[in-house]
């Protein structure tokens, strides 16, 4: 157990660099409905807090997300358990589309493709007292732009404290080291430190969470999210973040109200989970997603 704690404490400093910007793109359906939050609300949480694997049932999950401008993502993930050890995997693909090729003289050339593939494996274990969950995931990013390639190794250590009133989580997201660059330029690698606090309401079937995301080279973000359980089979999720303040315009009060706003609905049984989510990031853009998990 001490070894797991040491990995969490020192990993971000030992690796020295943080990850490619594309690693922060959402690739799992339920994250849209929570506006990027929900690090502790869902054990299938886009591999962003691997310690939550201790609560995950054995499953395999498929997700599809449709972004504007022809951008899309697809992912497959799963979780399993052996005695007190919990394992997970995830393979996600982001397609930025096919672009028209042009030379420096503006002569039409061959069209080209841009996209990322991220392959990850995760591990989690519960402490002897049951108060702490430790986890990490690691993987490799394969990025392509036209005929150029860039690769990076990623590592994300996490810890969760399970208190009587609240749960607390800390994670270092997508820290790693580039092993190949597109060219002479060094791609920026921006990891994110995340602090989370969640609580289940005793009198209502609601779970709420607040996440604070710290990034050294971009604005910090606070996310408010929650899940309302309508019945044993149906639940609704929603979320909003402090990014809303940067997206507000003088165009329309209604459009401002729904900017940086996520909502989703899900249906679950003992063998299946289905969900659909929508995220509005501004007056002119919406993201749609579908997800399906099979428990076995």
Read out DSSP for 208-243? EEEEEEE-TTS--EEEEEEEEE-SSSEEEEEEEETT
Res. 200: pLDDT tops 50 = yes
Q: What is the pLDDT of residues 28-48, one digit of tens each?
A: 999 999 999 999 987 666 778
On average, the pLDDT of the chain sits at: 85
Of residues 208 and 148, the one with the higher pLDDT is 208
Q: Are strands 17-18 and 175-180 parallel, antiparallel or unpaired?
A: antiparallel
Domain limits, the chain: 2-100+109-295
Reduce the DSSP state of residue 56 to 3 states and report it.
coil
Q: Which two tokens stand for residue 127?
A: 């402490």
Whose CA is closest to 263, among 296, 244, 238, 246?
A: 238
Which CATH number is 2-100+109-295's, of 2.40.160.20, 3.20.20.80, 2.40.160.60, 3.30.420.40? Answer: 2.40.160.60
- Using CA atoms, how far apart are residues 48 and 16, in angstroms rounded to an integer? 19
Kind and range of the H or E element at 172?
A: strand 167-173
More confident residue, 129 or 104: 129
Higher-confidence residue: 131 or 24?
Answer: 131
Work out the end-to-end distance of the chain between its first and last CA atoms, rounded to an integer number of angstroms: 29
At residue 259, the pLDDT reads 73
**DSSP labels, 237-251:** EEEEETTHHHH--SS
Give percent above pLDDT 90 in the chain: 54
- Cβ atoms of 169 and 158 closer than 8 Å: yes
pLDDT tens for each residue of 45-88: 677 899 999 999 899 999 999 998 888 999 999 999 998 899 99
| Two structure tokens written together for 203 | 């009198």
CB atoms within 10 A of CB 108: 9
3-state class of 224 per DSSP?
Answer: strand
Q: Which 8-state DSSP code applies to residue 6? A: H
CA 9 to CA 132: how far, in whole Å?
A: 14
């Amino acid at each position: 157990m001490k070894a797991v704690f040491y990995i969490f404490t020192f990993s971000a400093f030992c690796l020295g660099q943080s990850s490619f910007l594309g690693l922060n793109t959402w690739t799992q359906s339920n994250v849209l409905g929570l506006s990027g939050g929900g690090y502790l609300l869902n054990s299938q949480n886009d591999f962003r807090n691997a310690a939550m694997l201790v609560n995950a049932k054995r499953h395999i999950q498929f997700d599809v997300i449709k972004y504007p401008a022809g951008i899309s993502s697809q992912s497959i993930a799963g979780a399993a358990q052996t005695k007190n050890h919990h394992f997970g995997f995830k393979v996600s693909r982001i397609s930025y589309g096919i672009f028209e090729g042009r030379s420096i003289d503006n002569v039409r050339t061959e069209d080209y493709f841009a996209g990322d593939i991220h392959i990850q494996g995760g591990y989690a274990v519960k402490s002897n007292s049951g108060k702490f969950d430790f986890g990490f995931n690691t993987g490799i990013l394969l990025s392509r732009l036209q005929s150029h390639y860039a690769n990076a190794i990623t590592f994300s250590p996490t810890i969760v404290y399970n208190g009587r009133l609240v749960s607390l989580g800390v994670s270092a997201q997508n820290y790693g080291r580039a092993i190949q660059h597109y060219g002479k330029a060094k791609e920026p690698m921006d990891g994110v430190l995340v602090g989370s606090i969640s609580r289940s309401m005793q009198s209502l079937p609601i779970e709420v969470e607040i996440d604070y995301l710290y990034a050294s080279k971009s604005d910090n973000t606070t996310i408010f999210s929650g899940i309302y359980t309508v019945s044993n089979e149906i639940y609704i999720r929603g979320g909003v973040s402090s990014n809303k303040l940067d997206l507000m315009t003088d165009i329309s009060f209604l459009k401002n109200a729904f900017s940086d706003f996520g909502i989703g609905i899900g249906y679950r049984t003992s063998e299946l989970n289905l969900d659909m989510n929508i995220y509005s990031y501004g007056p002119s853009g919406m993201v749609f997603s579908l997800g399906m998990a099979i428990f076995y």
